[in-house]
Amino acid sequence: MLKGKQILLIVGGGIAAYKALDLVRRLRERGAGVLGVMTPAARQFITPLSLASLTGGKVHEELFSLTDEAEMGHIELSRAADLVVVAPATADLIAKAANGLANDLASTLLLATDKKVLMAPAMNLRMWLHPATCRNVETLTQDGVLFVGPGEGEMACGEFGPGRLSEPLDIVAAIETALRKDTRIPLPQGSLFGKRVVVTSGPTHEPIDPVRYIANRSSGRQGHAIARAASAAGAQVVLVSGPVAIVDPPGVDTRHVETAREMLAEVEAAMPADIFIAAAAVADWRTEAAGASKMKKGAAGAPDLRLVENPDILAAIGRRTAERPRIVVGFAAETDDLLANARAKLARKACDLIVANDVGEGTGVMGGLRNQVHLVDAVGTESWPSLDKEEVARRIVARLAALIGEQSSGGPRS
C-alpha cells in the first residue's frame, strides 16, 4: 500500500519531534520514500542530520535557499509527494496553515501544495483546547485537511489530557487511509469536529422583586462538564448558562442569562446547531409580574405570588420544524417514577435522548459531584453506574458522536 509512495514530511518544533524519526523509519520499512522538511523550531529538538540519515535524502529547511531553489523550487517540492504529512503539527503551524500564512518553508509548502494534507497535532493540552486552536482545526477540517490524534495521556509538561502526538504506527495507518483513493480518514473515536453543539446549564433565577428570586439547587456542574467534553471532542460549543458559581469552560462560547425567557432567547440565537443538550434546571414557573420595588412586610400579610408557566426551551427546540438540530437531548431530574416520567418526556418534548437521574433526597446529585443516570431513547433504557459528572459528560459526548457519525454515514438511525 505504501510501496513507491512519496511522503513529504514536515516536522514541527516540539518535544514530540523525536517520534517523527521513528515515523520515517516505519514508512521506509514499508517501501515509501520520505522528503524531509524541518521548521527552525524543530532543530531545537532533533538535528537535520538525524532526519536526513533516516530519509536517505536532503532535508529542506529554508524558504530562500539558493541551492535548494536551483535544485527543486518550493512549489515543486510541495507537489512532488503523494501526501503531505505534518508531524508533530504544532499550534503555531496549525495557526499558520489555517490562516494561509506563508512566511517560512513549512507554511509556504502547506499553502502551495495541491496534495492532501494530514496533520498529527502535538502540544500542551491547554494550547490544544484553546478556542484559537479549536477554531483553526475546524477551519482546516473544513478545508479538507485530515487529522490523526492527538492522543490522551501524560504529557512532557507533566499535565494529563489530549495533546500527545499519535503513535507512529497510528500515523502510518492514517497515512494509508489518506492515500486510499476517495477515502477520508475516519474522525477519531468520539470526535465532534466541525459540529456545532448548544448546551444549557445551571438553574434559572426568576425575579420576584429586585432583590428576591425563585431558584433551585442546580450547580451547573453536569451541563458545564458536557460543554467542556464536547469542546474537547472538537465541537464548536455554545453554553447558555444560568447563574452558577463555577467558571466558564475554556474554549466554550459561554453566554450568561438569568431567567428562562432569556435562556430561550440565547438558545434560539445560537441556532442552527447539530446537537442541542438541555441540561439546565429551568424554573417551570415565574411570577406573573415581578415587582419593580422591594416588597415590604406589612399589615396586608404575605404577598399573593401569582405564578405563570415559563416557556419550555427543550420542547421548543425539539419540536422545531425548520432547522431542528439533528440530535436533541433532554434531562429528566425526578424524585418519583423516574423511568416512566423520562419516557413520557421523550415523546412530549420531541427529544432523541433523555438522560434521567434521580434527584431525590439523599442522592446528593443536585449540586453534587457524582451522578447516576439512565439513558432513555426510542429503543430502550441503558443504566450507568454512579460516576463522576465529568465521566458522565465524556460518555454522553462519545455516545452523541457515535450517533451523529451513524447518521452521516447513513447508519441505522438515519
User: Which residues contribute to the site for ligand C5P (CB under 6 A)?
Assistant: 200, 260, 278, 280, 282, 284, 310, 312-314, 330-332, 345
β-bridge pairing 327-334 and 307-309: unpaired
Cα separation, 260 vs 280, whole angstroms: 10
Measured from the CB of residue 336, what is the shortest distance to ligand C5P in angstroms?
A: 12
Measured from the CB of residue 79, what is the shortest distance to ligand C5P in angstroms?
A: 52
Cα separation, 17 vs 183, whole angstroms: 28
Measured from the CB of residue 312, what is the shortest distance to ligand C5P in angstroms?
A: 4
Nearer CB in complex with ligand C5P: 5/228: 228
* Residues facing 383 on adjacent strands: 374
Nearer CB in complex with ligand C5P: 11/263: 263
**3-class secondary structure, 225:** helix
Neighbours of 22 (CB within 10 A): 14
Measured from the CB of residue 195, what is the shortest distance to ligand C5P in angstroms?
A: 20
Centroid of chain to Cα 138 = 10
| Grid cell listed for 200 | 444549557
Strands (E) located in 105-191: 117-121, 146-147, 151-154, 160-164
Strands (E) located in 262-413: 275-278, 285-287, 307-309, 327-334, 353-358, 370-371, 373-376, 381-383, 387-388
Measured from the CB of residue 356, what is the shortest distance to ligand C5P in angstroms?
A: 10
Measured from the CB of residue 349, what is the shortest distance to ligand C5P in angstroms?
A: 6
Cis peptide before 272 (omega within 30 of 0): yes
* 39 touches 106 (CB < 8 A): yes
Q: Is 157 a catalytic residue?
A: yes
Measured from the CB of residue 260, what is the shortest distance to ligand C5P in angstroms?
A: 5
Which of 176, 198, 89 minimizes the C-alpha distance to 141? 89
- Residue 276 exposed, middle or buried by CB count within 10 Å (0-12, 13-18, 19+): buried
* Residues facing 11 on adjacent strands: 38
The position carrying cell 445560537 is: 270
Cα separation, 414 vs 408, whole angstroms: 7
Measured from the CB of residue 374, what is the shortest distance to ligand C5P in angstroms?
A: 14
Nearer CB in complex with ligand C5P: 157/269: 269
Which of 41, 36, 33, 34 minimizes the C-alpha distance to 16? 41
**Residue tagged active-site, from 1, 132, 156, 157:** 157
CA distances from 50 to 36, 40, 72, 238, 327 (A): 11, 15, 22, 45, 50
Write out the catalytic residue numbers.
157
